[in-house]
Amino acid sequence: MAINLTSLATVKNSRTTPTDDFWEEVVSEIELADHVPTEAFDNISEFSHLEIIYFFDKVDSNNIVFSGRPRGIPQYPLVGIFAQRKKDRPNCLGLCTVELLEHNGRSIKVKYLDAINGTPVLDIKPVFKEFQPKGEIKQPDWVADLMKNYWQ
């Protein structure tokens, strides 16, 4: 089944290439597309965190994978694409929980978004405590090693 989506906003920041680490200092502005009314951001400042769903529009369709070693690093296990957060995914979707820093008219400023400049945003949702995981979050040991420099 084909699904057609329209970009609702665009990411603006200093990152122009999709590198794997050192995202913590990046502050991004998300600006609404012309066809989206300003009211879409009404009362967004009442939330501290948002979920940003975006499209990896720079991914080469020849690089899409369904399994592999995270970042191609040999000491990590061979895992399926749904057991990692690689950008070279079948539908090229990214999802990130961000901290909302500021709302100003048709734009918001956020921290902890790992999307490069020009990335199309497909949706923005507020984080509700009630939707957060219940119980302990479990992950394999290799994930902590993989992510040690991501938010620095």
Single pTM value for the model: 0.93
Tens of pLDDT, residue by residue over 16-59, are: 988 888 888 899 999 999 999 999 999 999 999 999 999 999 99
- Tokens matching residue 131: 């939707």
113: enclosing H helix or E strand: none
Range of the domain at 76: 9-130+139-146
Q: Does 80 map to a domain? A: yes
The 3-state DSSP class for residue 110 equals strand
Tens of pLDDT, residue by residue over 97-107, are: 999 999 999 99
Q: Does 91 map to a domain? A: yes
Number of domains in the chain: 1
